[in-house]
Amino acid sequence: MPETETMTKVFARPRSLTEKRFTYCPGCHHGLITRILGSTIDKLGIQERTVVVAPVGCAVFAYEWFRCDGIQAAHGRAAAVATGLKRANPELVVLSYQGDGDLAAIGTAETVHAANRGEAITVIFVNNQIYGMTGGQMAPTTLDGQPTTSSPQGRDPATMGHPLRVAEMIAALEAPMYVTRQSLYDAKHITQATKAVEKALRYQVERRGYSLVEIVANCPTGWKMPPVKANEHIAATVTGVFPLGDLVDRG
Amino acid sequence: MPRGKVVIDPERCKGCGVCVATCPFGVLEMSSTYNSSGYPVAGAAHPEQCTGCALCAQACPDIAIEVYRGVGARERGDG
Amino acid sequence: MRQLMTGNEAMAEGAIRAGCRAYFGYPITPQNEILEYMAAHLPQAGGAFVQAESEVAAINMCYGASAAGVRTMTSSSSPGISLKLEGISYLAGADLPCVIVNVMRGGPGLGNIAPAQGDYFQATKGGGHGDYRLIVLAPSTVQESAELVGLAFDLSDRYRVPAMILADGMLGQMMEPVALPPHRDPATLPPKPWALTGAKGREPNYIASFALDPKDLRELNLRRHERYREIADREVRWEEVETGDAEVLLVAYGTMGRIAKTVVRRARGEGLRVGLLRPITLWPFPYEPIRALAERVRAVLTVELSAGQMWEDVRLAVEGRCPTPFYGEMGGVVPTPDEVLQEVKRLA
């Protein structure tokens, strides 16, 4: 690129990410969230003390994307694993990366109690309203009426309950330092979500305590929508059920 | 000379089209080429319009885009 | 100096002295004194104590703390250990050391809180999913409870295999004088280069039990089973009492092992040639010593607080060399020495 020789590189792959290609589907927000985390880890200079706790789900390989120490947790148990890591070595920056089935169904107890104890960890909650890896089944966050492979006629609140609002649930507790819900459906929201992730990690570095960043994300494959349309669906519909913004900021 | 330039790694691109929808200046389009995984690859159809704002790169889920800016252009980007 | 302690307290103090610096537990009888002792004493030793929201959470906290390179322990009793099995399988699959104490009670289900040995299969044959083993140590006195916890940490670290202390409600609750092992400074323990301490000046360490490619997962399993063979070759431990001229050999462990010692003494008092082999490691099981004794005794009587679980291993050891009768109690009923002696007299 002779032309670029005279130019300045203003955007490149974060140094704290490995060169591995993501295994996610085209347009999936998991990759974007990983990039934002990598950029933030770079910015805060914490790559050498960060441990990434990966969930079971599409992000099962999450620990391999980071040039940081990493660990794979049993389904739903990431917050407990993160608790063990942080209590054993408070110098570590512990990042628990979880999806909605992992965090809000099978791992509800671990999620709530880690938050209630105010564990000094950062939880990144990817809410895409579906079980992606297992083939698109209903999640606790699936919208009313949303068809999935295990709710083919659409989620019927009469027998399946309503979408679980995790950020509101965690915000009701006294211990959490920072609880926010963000999205990535356009450039403005990507910038806001990046700032939220930075704040959540910074609060941990400053030993303030527990943070949860819920990210209303897409699942183009599970939703059977092209990626751009899936992002539009978040803006038009999903954020109506999961309102965006900070719920708690005690920092 | 354009103020900015995007370099897309065709092997990382999965053809999702989010960068095309994100670019405010209509620089990017889906090209007619496919990478070794069979994904159609995005490309700069109108490179002369590029300002190096990096919004495309920030929205790319596969970190397939690097962005350059000409000397004197305002520093930006969180890469 | 010896001091009077319960088995539960001795295991907790033994763990702290062995360098345990992270304990995670959930209340369940008859092991609550371990949790309570850790709550009172581990923070003073600079360790982390968390009363978890469940046994599931506790074992996963151990998984995290162990990954951080710290000696970690959890304790529970039978129904709680069932809940921990998922986490135990992950510890085994990720090659993480950990000590798990099971103060067994009557089962199945909620059962009761009386001493029992019905979790032998669960402890020694895997219990959770996948091809794995635990190192299983069975103390029979309060003194041994304090000592075996330290051994469990050493073996677990050395082989990167989780270790279980298989005790029971009687041992956990009884008081005996104990000479406690010396304190060990965690800083002097062998280093763990695989631990998650931050990727500073080295490539990242990853800890997982996950390998999508069957050939990779087979390789991980094969390497682990090499270590299991090494453990089986080197780490079998047992105690023999009056086996030299024995005509009837008792095999019993834990609380039943100490009752069996009394049986041997009383039988000898009546002129009966009775001996005892008490396994200290239940896995690896002392197959060879039992096999050798089976060559020269008339019968090998297995006595357990269960329907006959270790009995299967005893029969595998004896392989038909002599009769292998069984005497057991269930539901938390503990036989008296005289009841066992009557059984022995039928064989002698």
Q: Is residue B43 part of a domain?
A: yes
**What's the domain range around B58?**
4-69
Q: Is residue B79 part of a domain?
A: no
Q: For residues A35-43, give the mean pLDDT.
A: 98
Domain count, chain B: 1
Cβ contacts of A85 on chain C, cutoff 8 Å: 64-65, 67-68, 196
Q: For residues C301-327, give the mean pLDDT.
A: 98
Alpha carbons within 13 A on the beta-carbon side of C265: 7
Contacts 24+ apart (CB under 8 A), C153-156: C153/C15, C153/C18, C153/C19, C153/C20, C153/C71, C153/C73, C153/C97, C153/C99, C154/C18, C155/C231, C155/C235, C156/C97, C156/C98, C156/C99
Chain B: closest CA distance from residue A64 (Å): 15
Tell me, yes or no, whether C101 and C12 share the same domain: yes
Q: Is residue B75 part of a domain?
A: no
Last-in-domain residue among C210, C234, C258: C234
Whether C54 has a pLDDT exceeding 60, the answer reads yes
- For A150-184, the pLDDT digits (tens) are 999 999 999 999 999 999 999 999 999 999 999 99
Q: Is residue C107 part of a domain?
A: yes
Residues B62, A30: C-beta atoms closer than 8 Å: no
Among all residues of chain A, which has the CA nearest to that of B54? A11
Q: Is residue B65 part of a domain?
A: yes
Residues C68, A110: C-beta atoms closer than 8 Å: no
* pLDDT value, residue B72: 54
Query: Which CATH number is C321's domain given?
Result: 3.40.50.920
Residues A89, C197: C-beta atoms closer than 8 Å: yes
Last-in-domain residue among C178, C210, C234: C234
> Which one of A48, A52, A71 makes the best mutation probe of the C interface by having the most chain C beta carbons within 10 Å?
A71
Residues C57, A113: C-beta atoms closer than 8 Å: yes
- The per-residue pLDDT of chain A, averaged, comes to 97
Is A195's Cβ below 8 Å from some Cβ in B? no
- Parallel, antiparallel or unpaired: strands A50-54 and A93-99: parallel
Tell me, yes or no, whether C286 and C178 share the same domain: no
Is A159's Cβ below 8 Å from some Cβ in B? no
Helix (H) or strand (E) holding A53: strand A50-54
ipTM field = 0.97
Is C63's Cβ below 8 Å from some Cβ in A? yes
Tell me, yes or no, whether C158 and C283 share the same domain: no
Whether C55 has a pLDDT exceeding 80, the answer reads yes
* pLDDT value, residue B2: 82
* pLDDT value, residue B76: 46
Q: For residues A86-99, give the mean pLDDT.
A: 98
The model's confidence at residue A2, banded by pLDDT at 50, 70 and 90, is low
- Parallel, antiparallel or unpaired: strands C299-304 and C2-6: unpaired
Tell me, yes or no, whether C152 and C243 share the same domain: no
* pLDDT value, residue C113: 97
Tell me, yes or no, whether C158 and C176 share the same domain: yes
**CA C308, C314, C320, C322 torsion: positive or negative?**
negative
Residues C206, A83: C-beta atoms closer than 8 Å: no
Return the CATH superfamily for domain A23-249.
Thiamin diphosphate (ThDP)-binding fold, Pyr/PP domains (3.40.50.970)
Cβ contacts of A110 on chain C, cutoff 8 Å: 53, 56-57, 60
- Cα distances from C25 to residues A207, B77, C7, C39, in angstroms, run 25, 46, 17, 10
Last-in-domain residue among C185, C208, C234: C234
* pLDDT value, residue A5: 75
Answer for the pair A134, A128: CB distance below 8 angstroms, yes or no: no
Q: For residues A116-122, give the mean pLDDT.
A: 98
Query: Which CATH number is C157's domain given?
Result: 3.40.50.970
Amino acid at residue number B23: C
* pLDDT value, residue A6: 85
Question: Which chains are within 8 Å of C by 3+ CB pairs?
Answer: A
Chain A: closest CA distance from residue C221 (Å): 17
Chain A: closest CA distance from residue C123 (Å): 21
Tell me, yes or no, whether C160 and C55 share the same domain: yes
Amino acid at residue number A39: S
* pLDDT value, residue B21: 97
- For C116-135, the pLDDT digits (tens) are 999 999 999 999 999 999 99
Tell me, yes or no, whether C256 and C131 share the same domain: no
State phi, psi for C52 to the nearest 5 degrees: -80, 170
- For C76-88, the pLDDT digits (tens) are 999 999 999 999 9
The model's confidence at residue C348, banded by pLDDT at 50, 70 and 90, is confident
- For C98-114, the pLDDT digits (tens) are 999 999 999 999 999 99
**CA A75, A80, A82, A84 torsion: positive or negative?**
negative
Tell me, yes or no, whether C25 and C127 share the same domain: yes
Cβ contacts of A194 on chain B, cutoff 8 Å: 58, 78
Residues B78, A43: C-beta atoms closer than 8 Å: yes
Q: For residues C9-20, give the mean pLDDT.
A: 98
Pairwise pLDDT comparison (A99 vs B76), residue with the higher score:
A99
Is B68's Cβ below 8 Å from some Cβ in A? yes
Q: For residues A214-237, give the mean pLDDT.
A: 98
The model's confidence at residue B78, banded by pLDDT at 50, 70 and 90, is very low
Query: Which CATH number is B38's domain given?
Result: 3.30.70.20
Q: For residues B22-29, give the mean pLDDT.
A: 97
Cβ contacts of A13 on chain B, cutoff 8 Å: 63, 66, 79
Whether C305 has a pLDDT exceeding 70, the answer reads yes
Whether A1 has a pLDDT exceeding 50, the answer reads no
**What's the domain range around C328?**
239-347
Residues C199, A47: C-beta atoms closer than 8 Å: yes
Tell me, yes or no, whether C298 and C165 share the same domain: no
Whether C159 has a pLDDT exceeding 80, the answer reads yes
Whether A33 has a pLDDT exceeding 70, the answer reads yes
> Which one of C63, C95, C217 makes the best mutation probe of the A interface by having the most chain A beta carbons within 10 Å?
C63
Domain count, chain C: 2
Tell me, yes or no, whether C102 and C247 share the same domain: no
Tell me, yes or no, whether C93 and C161 share the same domain: yes
Among all residues of chain A, which has the CA nearest to that of B64? A13
Peptide bond into C284 cis (omega under 30): yes
Contacts 24+ apart (CB under 8 A), B7-11: B7/A1, B7/A4, B7/B65, B7/B66, B7/B67, B7/B68, B8/B41, B8/B42, B8/B43, B8/B44, B8/B64, B8/B65, B9/B64, B9/B65, B9/B66, B10/B35, B10/B41, B10/B64, B11/A21, B11/B35, B11/B36, B11/B37
- The per-residue pLDDT of chain C, averaged, comes to 98
Cβ contacts of C61 on chain A, cutoff 8 Å: 80-81, 83-84, 87
Among all residues of chain A, which has the CA nearest to that of C85? A74
User: What SS3 class is residue A248?
Assistant: strand
Is C207's Cβ below 8 Å from some Cβ in A? yes
Answer for the pair C300, C279: CB distance below 8 angstroms, yes or no: no
Is C66's Cβ below 8 Å from some Cβ in A? yes
Is A153's Cβ below 8 Å from some Cβ in B? no
* pLDDT value, residue A3: 67
Is B5's Cβ below 8 Å from some Cβ in A? yes
Q: For residues B42-47, give the mean pLDDT.
A: 96
Tell me, yes or no, whether C228 and C271 share the same domain: no
Cβ contacts of C210 on chain A, cutoff 8 Å: 60, 72
Residue A217: which of A231, A205, A199 has the closest Cα? A231
Q: For residues C176-205, give the mean pLDDT.
A: 98
